[in-house]
Structure 1
Amino acid sequence: MIKTNGLLFFLLTCMQFAFAQQSTLVYDNHIYLPQIKTVQCYNAQKEQSVPVIALKSGEQLLFSFDDLNGGSKNYWYAIEHCTSDWQPSRISTLDYVESFAEDRIVDYKYSFATLQKYTHYNLRLPNEQVRPKISGNYLLKVYLDGDQKKLVLTQRFYVLDNKVSVGVEVTPSLQVPERSYNQKINFSIFHKNLAIQNPYIDVKAVVMQNFDPQTAITNTKPSFIRTNELVYNDLNTNDFKGGNEFRKFDIRSLRYTADHVQNLEKDSINTAVLFPDITANAQKYTNQFDENGNFYIRNQDGRDDNTESDYVKVFFTLHAQAPATPGDAYVVGRFNNYILSEENKLVYEDSRKKFYASLLFKQGLYDFKYVWKDRETGKVNESIFEGSFFETENNYQVFVYFRKPGSRWEELIGYTMINTVKR
């Protein structure tokens, strides 16, 4: 048995190494190895904030992840400047990095008193070794042994050189049938101290709901141009489904059941069975506090959230009739960057009219929701299981990009976030 287990471990290690060697770079928040979990990236001033830092301001990003294989790995990282639509800017590293082009991650700790052993890695950016020189979109790349072909994970972040201000308002949709369901975002860019010669070419604005990349809308043409102001309030643009408040569960403790947890068990692994969920598309709007998709790593059974929080296999059940169109249901949130993958896809049992899934989570508080992806159109529909209401409390982010005439890259010159309730 020992020889068999040793051989299996060797084969799995070889497969993971080969997988890392063959990975193709994706300009998105992406995990390339299955043992990498709980990726976090936010402005260090506020936990789980949008990863935006001001250029040369002293602000830092806090970036971390867990390696469930444990031990210590030779992880390296580098950053790459990207366009507003997350394509490579194709400029020299000398143009966007002040110091070194890459460095090794040296801050790591081993888990303590947990069933699932892991190593927790931390990184702060900018630092003495790697510092962005210009504003814009950036991709953080983590890889093995200093070889960028052995990708481990990639993470998007933003560097802001604030040159304009952005005013935002939220209104009901101007499309009469959608007024009870949609939230329309109107905004203006005020550029008193910045000369913009051709706003139809030089400026782009991206609007996003709850920092979900799947919702991003790119604005390239202002509705009106006024003195030192660009107005974006076209009748048919920036119309978002209001959605519903996120569902949530609490696994901060493994000694007692908390919010939405029906049962806890501890054996060779920790498991948590959530109370069955039902569809919310036929209900009236109900005000419920949520974190707009965020998650927070917390551990009430120990002292250190990062290294004493254990991993838990969480079981989801959704009572719902499968839609008539062919497709698949997924459970999503910021914990997986709203990405639809085989890992978070639900299995449907037609005889019981139920969807099932199980995912691995680190102890903490989590927001989540169920979405449906149509196989024929590729469109993702949240309203099928969650409903949509204008009253829903959401955060909206607006990113403003500017390319100077003759410049080879886009700058991020404006950013704001508005909450539909706390204005």
Structure 2
Amino acid sequence: MIKYISLLLFFILGINHLHAQEEYQNKTYQSFIKTVECYNSSKEQSIPVINLKSNETITFGFDDLRGGQHNYGYTIEHCTWDWKSSRLNILDYLEGVQQDIIFNYRYSFNTLVKFTHYQLNFPNDQMKVKIGGNYILKVYEDNNPDKIIITQRFYVLNNTINIGAEVVPATEVADRNEKQKVNFTLFHQMPINNPFQELKAVVMQNFIPQTAIVNTKPSFVKPGSLVYNDINTNHFWGGYEFRKFDTRSFRYKAEHVADIYRDSTQNVILSIDLPNTNNRYSNQFDENGNFFIRNNDGRDNITDSDYAYILFTLAAPPPTPKGNVYVFGRFNNYALTEDNKLTFESSRRRFYGNIKLKQGLYDFKYVWVDENGKLNETVFENSYFETENSYQIFAYHRRPGSRYDELVGFSNISSVKR
């Protein structure tokens, strides 16, 4: 009997351990949840990083397309550098209540698609964090923490390390016209006995999770600084500037819009997109994948902006026999889901897809995912060293004997000096 109970406990603990090791993503779990936004409140669509024990806040919001008023609660969990649960006691990282309700909501006005917008600012009077690091915000319905509808990443910075960074051409001569390389140095004044074990630095391009590269070994360790400039690390495809479209008004056809018509909802047909086959880079401005909710037809961007079905068309053959094309941008968390997948019509050699989006300005790209799940951002867009990209560097420190990774440095730089 004792042996049976021991096996049962081992099994249960094993399941809990596996569950705790899941990587948290930016994700929506219900199709009626749209337009999730999360950014530092000081600037719309900025990287959601705030300083510890400062007056800075994260603005988080979403729309519920069922309309009416629903009961949404939320909680916060501390994560490791690679977005798994830190498994800390909630009292170690959270001050105030452990769960709270989202009280701030507004109804849509004068729109064909009825929705309710929910908004939250964090930290707030009810809940604050005590330590730096990666955090996941979990939103759930009906006071039931198991009915999760959104998970959203954000960062709390305890800034003890300064980061100096630069973007240079790739080391290999063959890659110099297509790739960008990030070199950086961590400047610190704290004792770091074993940088190979205590420190990790994550580099991302345009805040796209799939691009993250982890650095664990500095090339040079100097007094007060750690240099990461190994010739074989931190290479990124330059890609090309994001494509974009403008649906701020349904009364006229703005940038990249071919047609607009109205039935039970608004419908927008975008101009047909072609693969970029230019051998040379041509400069054009983009927002590095961001989107901005705007409308010229109403008075309030949040409540008066309607939803429309946006028809994307890519006139291109599949690059390999098996795989899928996805529309990719911050508006969908760069997620590769059924909602953002295009269908190929072989007779016309075109990919099509309808995506329901709120009025505004949108950046997007077409990406190819082959049968092995490998993502290719350049097959339809090409790649140039001259492309303007933003790079984010996150530095994490786990002190000897500590049970968590603390975010101690952050830098956001552009590949082009404007």
TM-score of the pair, normalised by structure 2:
0.94
Once the two structures are superposed, the pairs formed by residues 56-205 of structure 1 within 5 Å of their partners are 56-191=53-188, 193-205=189-201
Q: Secondary structure at the match of 1:98?
A: strand
Contact 1:25 1:151 in 2 (8 A): no
2:359 to 348, 357, 363: 363
In 2, the alpha carbon distance for the partners of 1:270 and 1:416 equals 40
In 2, the alpha carbon distance for the partners of 1:32 and 1:187 equals 37
1:414 matched to 2:409: yes
Q: Which region of structure 1 is more displaced relative to structure 2, 323-332 or 35-44?
A: 323-332
**Gap runs ≥5 in structure 2:** 1-20
In 2, the alpha carbon distance for the partners of 1:261 and 1:329 equals 21
In 1, the alpha carbon distance for the partners of 2:22 and 2:216 equals 27
2:35 aligned partner, one-letter code: T
Equivalent residue for 1:405? Answer: 400
> What do you get for the CA RMSD once the two structures are aligned?
1.1
Contact 2:45 2:291 in 1 (8 A): yes
Q: Which region of structure 1 is more displaced relative to structure 2, 349-358 or 82-91?
A: 349-358
In 2, the alpha carbon distance for the partners of 1:363 and 1:284 equals 33
Q: Secondary structure at the match of 2:91?
A: helix
Equivalent residue for 2:380? Answer: 385
Q: CA deviation at 1:352?
A: 1.3
Q: Secondary structure at the match of 1:371?
A: strand
In 1, the alpha carbon distance for the partners of 2:330 and 2:23 equals 18
Q: CA deviation at 1:326?
A: 1.4
Stretches of 4+ aligned residues off by more than 3 angstroms: none
Q: CA deviation at 1:126?
A: 0.2
Residues 202, 281 of structure 1: alpha-carbon distance in 2 compared, 3 angstrom cutoff = farther
Superimposed CA distance per residue, residues 236-294 of structure 1 (whole angstroms, 9 cap, x where no aligned partner): 11000000000000000111110000101112110000000000144421100000000
1:42 aligned partner, one-letter code: Y
Q: Secondary structure at the match of 1:37?
A: strand
Contact 1:311 1:360 in 2 (8 A): yes
In 1, the alpha carbon distance for the partners of 2:255 and 2:190 equals 50
1:236 aligned partner, one-letter code: N
> Once the two structures are aligned, what percentage of the paired residues are identical?
57
Contact 1:26 1:154 in 2 (8 A): no
**May I ask how many residue pairs the two structures share in their alignment?**
398
1:262 to 258, 280, 285: 258
Residues 168, 25 of structure 1: alpha-carbon distance in 2 compared, 3 angstrom cutoff = closer
Superimposed CA distance per residue, residues 45-75 of structure 1 (whole angstroms, 9 cap, x where no aligned partner): 0000000000010000000000000111110
Q: CA deviation at 1:25?
A: 7.8
1:39 to 29, 36, 45: 36
Contact 2:272 2:313 in 1 (8 A): yes
2:249 to 246, 253, 264: 253
1:48 to 45, 64, 72: 45
In 2, the alpha carbon distance for the partners of 1:251 and 1:26 equals 35
1:317 matched to 2:313: yes
In 2, the alpha carbon distance for the partners of 1:214 and 1:298 equals 28
Q: CA deviation at 1:300?
A: 0.5
Residues 32, 25 of structure 1: alpha-carbon distance in 2 compared, 3 angstrom cutoff = farther
Q: Secondary structure at the match of 2:35?
A: strand
**Gap runs ≥5 in structure 1:** 1-23
Contact 1:281 1:388 in 2 (8 A): no
In 1, the alpha carbon distance for the partners of 2:262 and 2:342 equals 24
1:332 to 328, 331, 345: 328
2:106 aligned partner, one-letter code: K
Q: CA deviation at 1:322?
A: 1.0
Equivalent residue for 1:275? Answer: 271
Q: Secondary structure at the match of 2:174?
A: helix
